[in-house]
Amino acid sequence: MLKLTKKADYGLMALKYLAEHPETAALSAKDIADAYGIPAQLLAKILQQLTKAGLLRSHAGMNGGYALSREAREISAYEVIHAIDGPFFITSCTKGSKSCELTPSCTIKEPLARVNETIAGVLKSISIQDLTEQEHPAGHAQEASRLIFLTL
Amino acid sequence: MLKLTKKADYGLMALKYLAEHPETAALSAKDIADAYGIPAQLLAKILQQLTKAGLLRSHAGMNGGYALSREAREISAYEVIHAIDGPFFITSCTKGSKSCELTPSCTIKEPLARVNETIAGVLKSISIQDLTEQEHPAGHAQEASRLIFLTL
DNA sequence: GCAATATCCGACTGGTTCAGTCCGCGTTTA
DNA sequence: TAAACGCGGACTGAACCAGTCGGATATTGC
Ligand code: SF4
Ligand code: SF4
């Protein structure tokens, strides 16, 4: 099955929330968690990971919190997921640590790697700002479209 | 993280193997398992699921086994994954059984649903036959390309 | 008929990952 | 100095995955 972890899910929500509140200097983890009902401590750790990855800037102390380190337009969903869940691969042959032992005899890893790259491309083409637009259910906000190339 | 289960992985390998041996009337689960080093009993159950989903035809008894019920061109990777792992959703709000309880307050489920559909589209556009082609590392087998539309 | 070869199907187990919590520490500010 | 906040490791229960076992049924070859 192909599933996104809830951590990545929460991370995207938090970033979107930050993108929607650019006026405030910083928002604390608890603020964001309360806004959506996410467990505060869990979200805190997620935001820490995003900070370590360079997507957020943190500020400790009272009235501290987190703020985007770049423009929402410049942060892709791929980066968020990568920062939280680590490098993702569709298959188990991650080539890094513990590849599946039938890698040599396997004949579908190359095509699947292309599929993997295509999906990564989809996620890379989506920015945090894309998530914030398309409110206005009236729909006159022209929906952004993208073309993805899949080369087998 | 976004990962394909090994069962689906094995299923794709098995179907590809069947597609490459159209001359034989039927191949047993053990035959295919031995060809790749997949645990035989595990593959057997996977093939049973694919049979139940209508992608394969089975025949019990000696010299029995499995054969594709359609042409390789007509079987998509999406169908295989769906048959083995069930309906897949990127997010946990599957709306079916146990959706995550912050579905109402969540503001990113709609865009993520579109992403989900886009990825499904990628998988639907890939057939078993696509996996068998692109052997011939010479590369003169023109690589099939597809355009995927992502509408946020 | 009988034995060998298959599919079929549910139950079971060990291992890994996920979601969430707890607790102690460093930092900033009122 | 104390409250508010970020930081980070350790921990737990639950869910899921990979793989195994055992038995039932169907078909074929002899
Ligand atoms: S090698 Fe083949 S079987 Fe093993 S994980 Fe990669 S794709 Fe799946
Ligand atoms: S509702 Fe929002 S948070 Fe809950 S699973 Fe769907 S997308 Fe993730």
Q: Check which CATH number belongs to the domain holding B57 and give it.
A: 1.10.10.10
Residues A9-30, mean pLDDT to the nearest whole number: 95
Note whether residue B40 is domain-resident: yes
Domain span including residue B41: 6-151
The pLDDT of residue A97 is 55
Distance of CA A45 to the CA centre of its chain: 15
The pLDDT of residue A63 is 94
User: How far apart are the C-alpha atoms of B150 and B101, rounded to whole Å?
Assistant: 28
Note whether residue B1 is domain-resident: no
Residues B32-53, mean pLDDT to the nearest whole number: 97
Are residues B2 and A3, on separate chains, in Cβ contact within 8 Å?
yes
Q: Which nucleotide is nearest to A9 (CA to C1')?
A: C19
Are residues B118 and A12, on separate chains, in Cβ contact within 8 Å?
no
The pLDDT of residue B140 is 45
Note whether residue B26 is domain-resident: yes
Note whether residue A1 is domain-resident: no
Who's near A76: CB < 8 A, 6+ residues apart? A123, A124, A125, A126, A127, A128
Q: Give the pLDDT band of residue A127 (cuts 50, 70, 90).
A: very high
Note whether residue B11 is domain-resident: yes
**Which of A93-107, B6-20, B115-129 shows the lowest per-residue confidence on average (mean pLDDT)?**
A93-107
How long is chain B? Answer: 152
- Given A3, A131, A146, which is nearest B90 (Cβ)? A3
Note whether residue B71 is domain-resident: yes
User: How far apart are the C-alpha atoms of B96 and B111, rounded to whole Å?
Assistant: 18
User: What are the tens digits of pLDDT across the range A23-70?
Assistant: 899 999 999 999 999 999 999 999 999 999 999 999 999 999 999 999
**pTM of the model as a whole:** 0.91
Share of chain A above pLDDT 90, in %: 72
The pLDDT of residue A140 is 46
Q: Give the pLDDT band of residue B17 (cuts 50, 70, 90).
A: very high
